[in-house]
Chain A
Amino acid sequence: MNKNNTQTNSFSLSNDKVSATILLVPALIFCTIFIFIPAIGTIVGSFYSYSLTSMNNWKWVGFGNYVKATQDEYFWVALKNNFIIVFASIVLQVGVGTILAAILDRGIKYGRVIFRTIIFTPMVISSVAVSLIWLIIYDPNVGILNAIFKSIGLSTPSKGWLGDPNISIWMIMITAAWQNTGFMMVLILAGLQGVSKEVYDAAEIDGATGVKAFWYITLPMIRNVLIVAILITTIGAFKVFEFIFVFTQGGPANATQVLGTYIYLQAFNLLHMGYANALSVILLIIALFLGWLQLKSSRKA
C-alpha cells in the first residue's frame, strides 16, 4: 500500500514538473527572443566597433568601448544627470506623493475622490504629450510661465527655461514630477489605508497626534511601501528617455544628456553602435542591481 502511494506520488510529481515546464515554455520563448538574445547581442556588440550603416564590418576592440566610456566627459555628465533625476524624483515624486497621500487619507474630510482623480490624471497621459504641453508652457516667447513671472515683476532666465544648461534639467524634473506624483500618491495612499485606526487611537492616548503621529506612527508603518515607491522611482529615473528627448534632445550642448539619450545619440546620430552597446551594458548592470534591490525589498514588504 505504501509502495503504491509512493509510486503515485512520484508519478504525480513528475507530471507536475512536466506541466510546469510546458507552461513555462511560451514565456521562456518570448523572454529569449525579446530579452535574452538582444541582451547577449548587446554584450557581444559592446566588444566591437561598428555602425548602423556598416553592419557587416565589425572590428574587435575588446574592452576599448568601456575604457572610452571612462574617458568620455559626456558619459559622466549623463550618469550624473541620471543620479540628479533619481534624487529629484525621490524628493518630488515620493516626497510630495507621501504628503498628498497623508492629506487625502486623514487631512481632509470631503472631496477625496475628486482630488485623488485630479492628481492622478496626468499619469494616464503619454509622456510625449505631456512634454509637448510643457514645451509650450516653458517657451520663452509665448509660454505662460514667462508671462506669469513677468506679470508679478520677476525676471525670467535670459537663455530660456530649457535653453539654460544650469536649470534645464530641473525644469524637466518638474514636468516629470507633475506627471508621476499622482501614481506615487495612490501607491502610498493604499499603504496608508492599510494602517489600523486603533494604532492611531492608541498613539493619541499617548499624546502623539498630527505631524508627530505621521512621523512616529505612519512613516514606520508604511516603510515597506515607501521602499518599493523609491525603487520604482529610481528605476524609472534611470530609464528616463522620452522627457529629455522631446524637451531638449540632451541639449543645450549635452547639459541634459542622460544615459538613455546619450546611447541614442551615439548609436543613431554619431553611428558608434559598438560604443552605444557598451553604454547599454553599463545601464543594464545598474538596472539589474536596482532590480535586485527591488526584489529583495518587495520580498521583505
Chain B
Amino acid sequence: MNFLKFITKKIYLFIFSLFLSFGFITSSYAVDITIWDLSGRNGQDEFYDNLNKEYKKINPDVNIILQTFENEAYKTQIQVALNGNDGPDVFFNWFGEDSARLARAGLALDITPYANVEGGYGNYISEGLSNTTAVNGKIYGVPNTSVSKYFHYDPAFFEANSLAVPKTFDDLLNLCRDIRAIDSSIVPWPLGNSERWKLNHVITMLNQRVVGEENTAADYNLSASEDELFTNPAYVEAWQKVVDLQDAGCFQDAPNATHPELTRSMFASQISPMIYCGTWCGGIFNSEGFSDFSYFRFPEVVGGAGAATVGFLVPSGMMVSAKTAHPEIAAHVASFMVSDDMALQAAELMGFMPSNPTKIGEMSNPTHWFNFYVNDIADKTGHVNVLDVLLEANVSNAYLDMGTEILNRTKTPQEAMDFIRQVALEAKAAM
C-alpha cells in the first residue's frame, strides 16, 4: 500500500514537472541563426558580438551563432554542409560562378522577396550591387563588402634608392631588375603560390590588360563557339608576361612552395619592397607592425586591349541556405549586417569597404589604406572578377594548375593555353 502511494506521488511529481518545463520552454522560445564565415579577419569577433547585441535589440529571441573556417577548407565544407541537414542558416560566399552554382542547384535561398520589407537589404544597398548575386533575375545574396588588389610598396625604400612607381608593365619589369641590381638577395615582389590562387589573381589582371575584358567575356562564360573558345593569341601573351616577370627577377625562387602568408610577412617586415596584395592586406601589414606603406594599381600593358582604369573586384557577402528553418529571420539577419550602423562597424572593425556607404563619412580615424582603397575603387571605370571565382570549376582548376606549371617552366604559355582550351571545350560540351 505504501509502495502504491509512493508510486502515485512520483507520477504526480513527474506530471507537475512536465507542466513546469513546458511553461519554461514556451516562455524561453528562441531561434538560433548560425552564420558561417571565414576565419582570421581582424576585428571579426568584436563585430559579431556587436551584431548579436544589436540584433537582440530588435529581435530578442534570436541568437546569432558564428562559426568560422579557414579559407581553403571553407570552399569545400560549405558545399558539403549545404547538402546535409546541419548546415548554416546564413553563410559567406564570393559572388561569381560558385555562388551562382549554389543558386542553380537550389541550395541557396532566393531572397528577392525580402529586399524591400522593413529592414530588408534593399533599404541599404544599391540594386546594381544586389544584382552581382542575381541568377535568372532572382537575388541570392547580400554583398557586404568587395575586395580588390593593389601593389603595396615601401615608399622609404623607393625613395632611398630613387625608384619610381611603375606606370607600365615594362616599367614594372625594369623596377624588378633595378631592385635586384641594388642587392640581388632582395626579392622585389614575393609571390606565395603554394595554394595556387596568388598567381591566378595576377593572370586575372594580365588577361584583362592584354586580352581585354570585352574579348574574354565569351570565353569565360563558355559561350564562345567551339572554334573560337580560348583561341585568342593574347591569352598566350598574357602568360608570357608571367614568364617575363620571373625572368626579370621579380619573384623569389620556388614561388610554388611558398605560402602566401610568408610573402605578406616578407613585405610587412620590409624584407621585400613591394607586394601585390588584396584590400584585406592593409590591416594585416599594420597588425604586423608596418603601416608606412603606399600603393599603386596594376600597371598598364602598352598595346594591350584592356584599359588600365579597370580593376580587380570580387564582391562577397552573405547567402541564406535554402534549408534554413527560419528563412525570413535568416534573410533579415543577412540584411541587418549591411544596415547603416553595422556597415559602419564592419568598416571600422574589420576594414570592410562596405556595400552600404551611408555612414562611411562618420568613420573615426579611417586608415590611410582604407581611404585609398575606397576612393580608388570608386575612381575605376570597370571591374573584373577573379578567375578562380568566375570560371566554371574545371576551367578554373586548369587555370590554377597552369599557373603552377608556368612558374615551374614545365609548360610553355602556348602549351598552357592548349590545355586550358581543351578543358574548356570539355566543360562546354558537358553543359
Contacts and interface: CB of A to CB of B under 8 A. Distances in A.
Nearest to B256: A163
Given A53-B105, A138-B257, A252-B256, A268 B404 contact: no
Interface stretch (A105-113, A154-162, A226-234, A236-244): A154-162
Interface in A36-65: 51-56
B397 interface: yes
Interface in A134-166: 135, 138-142, 157-165
A140 B393 contact: no
A293 interface: no
Contacts of A271: 101, 393
B257 to A, nearest CB: 3
Interface residues of A, number: 33
Contacts of A253: 401-402, 404-405, 408, 410-411
B112 interface: no
A254 interface: yes
A268 B258 contact: no
Contacts of A254: 401
A142 B269 CA distance: 14
Contacts of A140: 252-254, 257-258
A53 B257 contact: no
Contacts of B116: none
Interface string B285-308: 000000000000000000000000
B320 to A, nearest CB: 16
Given A53-B101, A140-B257, A141-B266, A163 B408 contact: yes
Interface string B71-88: 010011001101100000
A140 B193 CA distance: 12
B397 A270 contact: yes
B259 A139 contact: yes
Given A253-B404, A270-B393, A271-B393, A160 B79 contact: no
Contact of A165 (B76, B194, B408): B408
B430 to A, nearest CB: 9
Contact of B257 (A159, A265, A268): A159
B196 A139 contact: no
B113 to A, nearest CB: 23
Interface of B: 72, 75-76, 79-80, 82-83, 101-102, 104-107, 194-196, 252-259, 262, 266, 393-394, 397, 401-402, 404-405, 408, 410-411
Given A264-B76, A269-B75, 6 more contacts: A138-B257, A141-B262, A159-B254, A160-B256, A268-B79, A269-B393
22 contacts: A51-B105, A52-B83, A53-B104, A53-B105, A55-B83, A56-B106, A135-B259, A140-B252, A140-B257, A141-B252, A141-B254, A159-B253, A159-B254, A160-B253, A160-B254, A161-B257, A163-B408, A165-B408, A165-B410, A252-B404, A253-B411, A268-B80
Task: List the 6 closest pairs (A to B, CB-CB), nearest first.
Answer: A160-B257, A160-B254, A163-B257, A163-B256, A53-B105, A140-B254
